[in-house]
Amino acid sequence: MTAWREPPSLTSPEQPMSMHDLTVPVATPAIPWRERLGTMVPILVLAPSLVASFIYVFVFTLWTLYLSLSNSSLMPTYGFVGLDNYASLWANRRWNIAYTNLFLFSGFYIVGSMAIGLLLAILIDQRVRGESIWRTIFLYPLAVSFIVTGTVWSWLYNPVDGIQAFVRGLGWTDFSFALTANRNTAIYAVIITGIWQSSGFAMALFLAGLRSVDPDLVKAAQIDGASVSRIYRRVILPTIAPIFLAVAVIQIQFAIKTFDLVAALTRGGPGVSTTFPAIYVYDLMFQRGQIGEGAAAAMMMLAALAVVLVPYSLWIVWRRRAEGRNG
């Protein structure tokens, strides 16, 4: 700004604007410092968190990327080894199990929680009695932390004092329910628990979407002679399609980050059957002192997230532009 010229309001507070003022050769009129401060307040307030986010997100991401290409073991060191860490990571059977588990879990978990969430939302949307009670009940699991969820469900799955013991106690002595005890089924125990935890969340988002649909649309479809299932299939659900995408994206990033749920529920076992990438990263970095390979595994998780989030962000931008065009 023009530092050589005092703001007119300070030099001549009472003087009205005259023709002379208009002809002073100043390109931009000086803004009083109070106003300038006013415009800067948002920036000042946001600056610390912006700086922190920048450091913790971008700087540490780049640092991890570099570590993944280094020979770091117990402590970070900076000897460049190229893609060696990635090669040894992918040669490891446990990592392969972890990555497969990630896809298996993500697929079932997202589809399962969305399907159940949508079903619950549609049922609640039928103007049921005590709607807020149902909503609270279904949303409650989300308020419980993953650690608590995992611990409680590990008790339920436990053959000795969980559901199996309870049903056997009722008299069905042949009843068998021991998902977490078997290395082939343990992953499904994780999936079921994950679905229990987050279908309420999906329900809340879907319900908000269903409620935002213009009731006239439903009336018009009724007059058009469409059945209830047809109204949902052709009119209501297509209208809230963006919500499906939003729910899916949120669930996917939950799935990829899955750590505490598994840590509390199965601790990656039996054996290595429910190892997840996040657990493996933790193991490599902090238990086995292989920071380089751990960083490589972390980068692979970032890649998995990017595969989901980058197209989504691009789609959001594209859609906003398309909406802007159509008014």
Window 38 to 97, contacts with other proteins (CB under 8 A)? none
226 binds other proteins (CB under 8 A): yes
CB of 129 to other proteins, least distance (A): 16
* Positions in 228-267 near other proteins (CB under 8 A): 230, 234-235, 238-239, 241
Q: Give the per-residue contact string, 286-305, with other proteins (x = CB under 8 A; - = no).
A: --------------------
Phi, psi values for residue 70, rounded to 5°: -110, 175
Q: Is the bond preceding residue 29 a cis peptide, omega within 30 degrees? A: no
* Distances, alpha carbon 53 to alpha carbons 48, 56, 59, 209, in Å: 9, 5, 9, 31
Closer CB to other proteins, residue 174 or residue 323? 323
Q: How far is the CB of 321 from other proteins (least distance, A)?
A: 14
Q: Which of 15, 53, 227, 313 binds other proteins (CB under 8 A)?
A: 227
Figure out which of the listed residues 6, 21, 131, 224 binds other proteins, where binding follows CB under 8 A: 224
In the bound complex, what is the minimum distance in angstroms from residue 150's beta carbon to other proteins?
40
Shortest distance (Å) from residue 208 CB to other proteins:
17
Question: Least distance (Å) from other proteins to the CB of residue 222?
Answer: 5
CA 135 to chain CA mean position, Å: 21
Pick 144 or 316: Cβ nearer other proteins: 316
Q: Give the shortest CB-209-to-other proteins separation in angstroms.
A: 13
Residue in this structure with the two tokens 């208009």, named with its chain if needed: 22
To the nearest whole angstrom, how small is the minimum distance from the Cβ of residue 215 to other proteins?
Answer: 9
Asked whether 318 and 295 are in contact (CB, 8 A), the reply is no
Q: For helices 93-124 and 241-257, what crossing angle results, to 10°?
A: 140
Residue 281 near residue 294 (C-beta atoms within 8 A): yes
CA distance linking residue 31 with residue 8, whole number of Å: 9
**Total residues at interface with other proteins (CB under 8 A):** 20
Interactions with other proteins, residue window 193-222 (CB under 8 A)? 214, 216-217, 219-222
d(CA 111, CA 93): 27
Taking Cα atoms as reference points, which of 194, 187, 195 lies closest to residue 272? 187
| Comparison of 6 and 214: residue with beta carbon closer to other proteins | 214
Q: Is 127 in the site for other proteins (CB under 8 A)?
A: no
Q: Give the whole-angstrom CA distance, residue 72 versus residue 78.
A: 7
147 binds other proteins (CB under 8 A): no
Nearer to other proteins, 187 or 221 (CB): 221
Q: Which one of residues 11, 223, 229, 324 is an interface residue with other proteins (CB under 8 A)?
A: 223
d(CA 165, CA 100): 32
Residues with Cβ within 8 Å of 286's Cβ and at least 6 positions away in sequence, in order, are none
- To the nearest whole angstrom, how small is the minimum distance from the Cβ of residue 32 to other proteins? 42
Token pair in block for residue 100: 């497969």
Amino acid at 31: I
Candidates 233, 236, 237, 240; CA nearest to 216 is 236
Interacting residue ranges for other proteins, rule: CB under 8 A: 214, 216-217, 219-227, 230, 234-235, 238-239, 241, 323, 326
